[in-house]
Amino acid sequence: MKRIENIRIGISGTRGIVGETLSPELVVNLTCAFSTLIGGGKVAVATDTRVSGDVVKHSVLSALIFSGITPVDTFTLPTPSLEIYVKEKKLNGGIIITASHNPEEWNGLKFVDNRGLFLSPFAALNLIDIYYQGSFKIPTENKFPDVEIEKEAFKVHKEKILKIVDVERIRKKHFKVLVDAGGGVGTRFDRELLEYLGCRVKMVYEEDDSNERFPRNPEPIAENLSKASEMIQNGDYDIGFAQDSDGDRLCILDESGRVFGGELTLAAALYGYLAKQKAGKIVINLSTSRVTEYLAKRFGHSVSKSPVGEINVVEQMIKEGAVAGGEGNGGVIIPQVHHCRDSFTGMALVLDSMAADDKKISQITAEFPQFKMVSSKIPLSMTGAHRIISLLKEEYPNGNTQDGLRVDTPCYWFHVRPSNTEPILRIVAEGNEGEIETILSQLTDKIKKMSR
């Protein structure tokens, strides 16, 4: 991972500030490196709704054509839709132009392989090596492919979602839904899915006249969803949904305007789906709440944990044949649709559960165990962070060491890991409110003493 001020180049792609660190040269060279990695064929290209999306896309398309790759321009499209399209249409790869939940001045590239999945850590490291070496394979003959146009790619995604829910049962409820897409891709596609499911839909920023592309911070967390929460409190809605700019992460608001957060959103989305599946395996990452574990075991499923990061969860799901999985940032992963985080699938599953149980979402989640999750971070170099992890492993020899160290006890758990993007050590803990804060404080103090 290379991290300079305002730029990140690593196994999850690249992000930078457009016009500063995300330059045309960087975009072209990374695209040429990706073209070299996959070797040829067709590559789907999509953007989120950032103003810079089309500008960056021109560089991507040119680099693909120059490399002998046929670009398939899918225009503005959710990240999960692009991944699904690549797999279903048997393309050689995909490039998503997005900075996910970063502010609007950022943009970046996410790379997808021919399985419709983000690059594995090994493939991503190969891509980075090709980029830094500048060893691009450029055809010598002057034969350049044309750009192919695809404006209906989302329909492939929607059709797969509709196969895993009871459409008629949801339609009969006529749910009134408030959606806060934050100016992201959801503004283009939420209505198409939700209205097909018989919902009466209100978009939070539908009548916004500020001319801001992203009227709120793109990350769908409580502090950025005050307007949606207020609208639900003052209105008559059955549920609220919020998404990030590229549509892979979901956040639920209940009928009172309470914001669930990513952990409870994941559990709520999986609840009804897990109840219908034969006993199988569920995969979550090491920093995900025990609430999802509780639900999995309640419905007869076993739980496996992976290192943090979508591709790590997905690769383990594929290896173990998992029926579902996800990450506690609202990243719902249902293999029947695709092995990717998918806010659209999450919305449909939640509505399906509400219709099946004839309950409000607050009533469904009231049955879940009540845990408190807390976190902290300590500034440390990568070397320093790994030294701390080594010391903690000696103190907790029975901990899970896949990704830093996770220690489980009957009453609480904690996970300590070096960040993939910043020179910090991340600490996450979960347990009973009133106790877990003290446990986190004691652990943080211990680590700070170790680092001296």
- Establish how many alpha carbons lie within 13 A of residue 211's alpha carbon, considering only the half-sphere containing its beta carbon: 0
Q: CA 385 → CA 17, 211, 417, 425, 451, distances in Å?
A: 28, 44, 8, 6, 8
* Calpha distance 91→45 (Å, rounded): 11
Tell me whether domains 2-152 and 372-450 share a fold: no
* % of the chain beyond a pLDDT of 70: 96
Summarize pLDDT for 387-438 with one digit per residue, the tens: 999 999 999 999 999 999 999 999 999 999 998 767 899 999 999 999 999 9
Q: What is the fold, at CATH topology level, of the domain defined by 372-450?
A: TATA-Binding Protein (3.30.310)
CA angle 328, 331, 332 (to 5 degrees): 110
How many other CB atoms are found less than 10 A from the CB of residue 209?
Answer: 6
CA dihedral 89, 94, 97, 100 (to 10 degrees): 90
Please give the pLDDT value at position 422. Answer: 76
Q: CA 22 → CA 46, 48, 55, 59, 128, distances in Å?
A: 17, 16, 11, 11, 16
Largest Cα–Cα distance of the chain, in whole Å? 69
Please give the pLDDT value at position 13. Answer: 81
Mean pLDDT of the chain: 94
CATH classification number, 2-152, choose in 2.40.160.20, 3.40.120.10, 3.30.360.10, 3.90.1150.10: 3.40.120.10
- The structure's pTM equals 0.95
Q: Whose CA is closest to 292, among 321, 311, 313, 312?
A: 313
* Calpha distance 201→224 (Å, rounded): 20
> Residues near 128 by Cβ (< 8 Å), separated by ≥ 6?
2, 9, 10, 11, 33
Paired residues of 43 in beta bridges: 71, 93
CA dihedral 339, 248, 379, 384 (to 10 degrees): 10
b (16+ CB within 10 A) / e for 280-311: bbbbbbbbbbbbbbebbeebebebbbbbbbbb
Considering the domain delimited by 168-365, tell me its CATH architecture.
3-Layer(aba) Sandwich (3.40)
3-class secondary structure for 290-352?
HHHHHHHHHCCCEEEEECCCHHHHHHHHHHHCCCEEEECCCEEEECCCEEEECHHHHHHHHHH
SS3 445: helix
Summarize pLDDT for 206-223 with one digit per residue, the tens: 765 555 689 999 999 999
> Residues near 447 by Cβ (< 8 Å), separated by ≥ 6?
378, 388, 392, 416, 425, 427
Please give the pLDDT value at position 254. Answer: 98
Q: Where are the domains of the chain?
A: 2-152, 168-365, 372-450
Please give the pLDDT value at position 102. Answer: 85
> CA gyration radius for the chain?
22
* Residues in the chain, pLDDT under 70: 1-12, 207-212, 421
In this structure, the strands spanning 148-149 and 93-97 are unpaired
Please give the pLDDT value at position 420. Answer: 73
Summarize pLDDT for 137-152 with one digit per residue, the tens: 988 888 899 999 999 9
Q: Whose CA is closest to 121, among 313, 326, 320?
A: 313
Contact yes or no for 277/255 (Cβ under 8 A)? no
